[in-house]
């Protein structure tokens, strides 16, 4: 495949200088020359109504870069500073950010965070033969929309999370459930996946209605849920879900009847719902793709001590590591070349858990199976993970968030 773009004379001269000082491990752009350093960038929400999703993802990407450089870089060259772009939950701004990163010679773009923003930028990124990897896109069918093979996501499809949530609700003994969701691709996809799984478990869905996440209030769905008198309530939301939870409590629905999804897997949720009495959310539970084990969260917190929320941090970290390993395996930092190795390094070989360990196995001629901090990954040909770990989270009597359990799901085996 042709390189994604021509460099300007200045950029070409700079790239030549870098290539002379950072020769790859025996390969080149097409296996026979010298490699330019692998360049990452991100399109993530630094501003806008989803800006709370930005810090954990940005910090995780930067932490992964640090870990790779501490191990000697990719093909012997350290990763340059990460290029930055703000998706702002605005399609025009996200597209402008992606285009700018492409013009700055990004080889891998991490993001976007929102499924809708990825739909806005996907064609721009993949048509330039730049790899796009999102750690938080969960809308069903999203990976199948890309016919180029350059789009990947480490976050599992909501078709995997919906049944996990339904099984949790069934295990808790509920027989009738109301569902409310933000009316976008993420909300509708996960709500419907959950509703289908609940009904397959013999549980009645008495209410299933979306809402405008930018509305001034959510009285319509709150009143509808209260009128339905369900045993349990599923809320598929992001930040606006705080208002939905608060409204339901005021309407007489107790927190221990409520179930959230990844958008409400927020360590600060209790303070946001009731700062004077965080225990108001006691018993609230939910499911979410697992952010990573305690060791990873501790290490990420040491890297960025300001982090309070860790949503999708493990998945973004895995995006950076798995694409870097693909470049090692391909012996090329050309995305048109190493994109062919992304699925291969995620399954079928010797299991390994860090960039350095996996890189050394590749150097020894071994096939590898990168086990991500967020789960096993195991990509399929469309760029979706087929094996993922989900956590059950909840809040105690003092409103303290904790991971209560974890479940690993293999979509191909059905287990």
Q: pLDDT tens digits for 182-217?
A: 999 899 999 999 999 999 999 999 999 999 999 999
What pLDDT digit, counting tens, does each position of 331-366 carry? 999 999 999 999 999 999 999 999 999 999 999 999
Cα gap 71→69, rounded to integer Å: 5
Q: How confident is the model at residue 412 (pLDDT cuts 50, 70, 90)?
A: confident
Query: By residue range, what is the domain housing residue 223?
Result: 158-292+396-401
What pLDDT digit, counting tens, does each position of 256-303 carry? 999 999 999 999 999 999 999 999 999 999 999 998 889 999 999 999
- The values of phi and psi at residue 27, to 5°, are -115, 180
Cα gap 93→85, rounded to integer Å: 9
> Tokens 């492409």 map to which residue?
102
109 found inside a domain: yes
pLDDT of residue 6: 38
Q: How confident is the model at residue 141 (pLDDT cuts 50, 70, 90)?
A: confident
120 found inside a domain: yes
351 found inside a domain: no
What is the pLDDT averaged over residues 375-389? 94
Asked whether residue 114 falls in the same domain as residue 227, the answer is no
Asked whether residue 179 falls in the same domain as residue 146, the answer is no
pLDDT of residue 34: 83
What is the pLDDT averaged over residues 151-167? 96
pLDDT > 50? residue 16? no
pLDDT > 50? residue 20? no
Q: What is the CATH number of the domain that holds 140?
A: 3.40.50.2300
- Per the structure block, which two tokens stand in for 207? 């209410």
Asked whether residue 186 falls in the same domain as residue 319, the answer is no
pLDDT > 50? residue 308? yes
% of the chain beyond a pLDDT of 90: 87
Do 171 and 272 contact (CB within 8 A), yes or no?
A: no
Cα gap 281→380, rounded to integer Å: 38
Angle between helices 313-330 and 355-363 (to 10 degrees): 20
What is the pLDDT averaged over residues 314-337? 98
**Number of domain units in the chain:** 2
pLDDT of residue 49: 86
Residue 390: its H or E element: strand 385-395
What pLDDT digit, counting tens, does each position of 93-127 carry? 999 999 999 999 999 999 999 999 999 999 999 99
390 found inside a domain: no
14 found inside a domain: yes
Q: Is the dihedral of CA 18, 24, 26, 28 positive or negative?
A: negative
Asked whether residue 180 falls in the same domain as residue 269, the answer is yes
Asked whether residue 114 falls in the same domain as residue 195, the answer is no
Asked whether residue 187 falls in the same domain as residue 86, the answer is no
């Amino acid at each position: 495949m042709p390189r994604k773009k021509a460099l300007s004379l200045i950029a070409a001269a700079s790239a030549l200088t870098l290539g002379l000082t950072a020769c790859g491990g025996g390969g080149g752009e097409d296996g026979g020359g010298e490699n330019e350093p692998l360049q990452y960038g991100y399109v993530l929400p630094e501003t806008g109504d989803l800006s709370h999703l930005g810090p954990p993802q940005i910090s995780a990407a930067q932490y992964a870069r640090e870990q790779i450089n501490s191990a000697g870089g990719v093909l012997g060259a350290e990763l340059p500073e990460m290029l930055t772009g703000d998706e702002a939950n605005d399609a025009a701004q996200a597209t402008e950010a992606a285009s700018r990163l492409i013009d700055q010679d990004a080889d891998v773009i991490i993001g976007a965070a929102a499924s809708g923003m990825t739909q806005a930028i996907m064609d721009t990124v993949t048509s330039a033969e730049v790899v796009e990897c999102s750690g938080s896109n969960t809308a069903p069918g999203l990976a199948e929309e890309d016919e180029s093979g350059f789009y990947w996501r480490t976050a599992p499809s909501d078709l995997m999370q919906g049944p996990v949530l339904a099984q949790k609700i069934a295990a808790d003994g509920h027989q009738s459930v109301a569902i409310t969701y933000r009316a976008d691709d993420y909300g509708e996809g996960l709500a419907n996946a959950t509703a289908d799984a609940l009904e397959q478990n013999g549980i009645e869905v008495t209410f299933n209605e979306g809402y405008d996440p930018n509305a001034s209030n959510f009285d319509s769905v709150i009143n509808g849920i209260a009128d339905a008198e369900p045993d349990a309530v599923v809320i598929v939301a992001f930040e606006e879900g705080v208002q939905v939870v608060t409204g339901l409590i005021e309407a007489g629905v107790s927190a221990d009847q409520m179930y959230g999804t990844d958008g409400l897997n927020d360590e600060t949720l209790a303070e946001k719902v009731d700062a004077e009495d965080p225990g108001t959310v006691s018993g609230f539970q939910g499911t979410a793709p697992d952010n990573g084990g305690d060791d990873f969260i501790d290490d990420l917190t040491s890297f960025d001590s300001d982090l309070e929320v860790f949503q999708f941090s493990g998945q973004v970290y895995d995006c950076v590591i798995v694409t870097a390993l693909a470049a090692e395996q391909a012996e090329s930092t050309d995305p048109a070349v190493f994109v062919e190795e992304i699925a291969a390094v995620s399954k079928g070989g010797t299991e390994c858990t860090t960039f350095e360990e996996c890189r050394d196995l590749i150097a020894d001629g071994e096939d590898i199976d990168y086990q991500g901090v967020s789960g096993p990954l195991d990509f399929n040909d469309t760029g979706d993970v087929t094996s993922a770990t989900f956590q059950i989270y909840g809040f105690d009597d003092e409103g303290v968030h904790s991971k209560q359990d974890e479940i690993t799901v293999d979509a191909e085996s059905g287990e």
